Amino acid sequence: MNVMLNSLPFLMQGLLVTLRVSGIVVAAALVLGVLFGVGLSFGPRWVAWPLRIYSDLIRGLPLLVLIFCVYYMLPLTGLNVTSFWAAVAALAAFQSAHVAEVTRGAVQSIPPGQHEAGKSIGLTFSQRMIYVVFPQALRRFLPPWINTVVSTVQGSALVSLVGIVDLMLAIQQVIGRTFKPMPMYILGALIYFVINYALSLMSRMLEARFAYVRE
């Protein structure tokens, strides 16, 4: 018990890193993923096909392999980034592919009549997206998107393996000093659980809230 209390300030620093990684990745993956998803659904063939290949390749690799690939191969392209940004880039690439699929599913659930109606009153493509499709697709998008946020927080634990002191590595370091693994792992599991369970509950609430709307 004492160990858990004494290590809390140190773990909080790790937690901040975990949250920072997750926050950056979620924001980047949201922007990229929505763009990719729209490209997948409505793009001409030369846009949709490369995106399809990107999404399938990225989702077909274990996240750990992706992180190591980016971490070791990025410097060869002449980009010397810190391990933090290499790991963030890998996670963002991974999650953007997942968000792209979520977006594709949500956007394609909008009946074609809505697009035609938008066209017939003279809206441009981006106007149709912003005023017609996105507001309706939002309720299909939000619950699965929150699940990708949960998986981002979980995936961020893997950045500890390239030496970033996030919550996971902070726990490991405390154990290295105190030799009390069990209390520390349970404390760490509880911290992760609280964050992710809150997100899961939010996803479920939104799902229930949107469930009654039917076309």
Partner 1 sequence: MQYHLNYNFIWKYFDRLAWGLALSLELATIGILIGCIIGLALAVLSHGAGRPVRFVVGAYVEFIRNVPLLLLVYLVFYGIPSVGGFAYDATTSFTMTLAVYAGAYLVEVFRAGLDAIPKGLIDAGRAIGLTPAQRVLHVQLPTMFRIVLPSLGNAFISLFKDTSLATVLAVPELMYGANWIYTNTFRIVEVWTVVAPMYLVTGFILLGCLRLLERRFAIRRR
Applying CB under 8 A, the residues found at the interface with partner 1 are 57, 60-65, 68-69, 72-73, 76, 78, 150, 153-158, 160-161, 168, 171-172, 175, 180-182, 185-186, 188-189, 192-193, 196-197, 200
Task: Find the shortest distance in angstroms from Cβ 34 to partner 1.
Answer: 24
Q: Can you tell me the distance from the alpha carbon of 119 to that of 54, in angstroms, rounded to the nearest whole number?
A: 30
Q: Measured from the CB of residue 76, what is the shortest distance to partner 1 in angstroms? A: 6
Looking at the Cβ atoms of 57 and 130, the one nearer to partner 1 is: 57
CB-nearer residue toward partner 1: 16 or 57: 57
Q: How many CA atoms lie within 13 A of 84 on its CB side?
A: 9
Q: With respect to partner 1, which residue has the nearer C-beta, 34 or 86?
A: 86
Least separation in angstroms between CB 136 and partner 1: 27
Min. distance of Cβ 84 from partner 1 in angstroms?
Answer: 18
CB nearer to partner 1: pick between 50 and 62 = 62
Which CB atom, from 35 or from 161, has the smaller least distance to partner 1? 161
Shortest reach from residue 69's CB to partner 1, in Å: 5
Cβ count near 151 (within 10 Å) = 15
